[in-house]
Amino acid sequence: MTTAHDFSFTAIDGTPLPLSQFKGRPVLVVNVASKCGLTPQYEGLVKLYHDKKDGGLVVLGVPSNQFMGQEPGTNEEIATFCSTTFGVDFPLTAKTDVKGDTAHPFYKWIKQELGEPADPLWNFHKLLVGKDGQALQAFDPRMDPLAPEIVQAVDGAL
């Protein structure tokens, strides 16, 4: 049976980022963008990560330029923006397609697992994967990362 741990991204610094390195830890995968009205959600993602990382949570940011070109920068520019503007210290992938025919295989898999709710509608779509790599839940892009529904789902996954 396929799980999230079977997939690998490229990290924002160009190195391999296999999801198998997160076995035993839940992962909140979020497609992100620097020029979006929802970009301030980085603050909540950083807080959620800091609040829950000792328990095992990983937040994985996946920059994507598929929504009205709101992530136009290079990987280096994105990394600098995230760290200097929002103090992002959770892992980021290189710029990646998250929907359509060119979507990363992880996104195709999780859409098969969870159906339409897992298909990113916009930037900051959130996907929760369990410790065992199973697809657990998808959250709307507009939902604050610190919303009770997300915090409760993360706590349940921990």
Residues with a known catalytic role:
36
Residue type, 53: K
**Which has the closest alpha carbon to 26: 7, 53, 45, 2?**
53
Check: CB of residue 73 under 8 Å from CB of residue 104.
no
Check: CB of residue 104 under 8 Å from CB of residue 96.
yes
Write the CB contacts of 29 (distance below 8 Å, at least 6 apart in sequence).
60, 62, 106, 110, 126, 127, 128, 129
Report the helix count and the strand count for the chain, using DSSP H and E: 4, 6
DSSP 131: T
Point out which residues pair with 8 in neighbouring strands.
18
Q: How many whole angstroms from its chain centre is CA 36?
A: 15
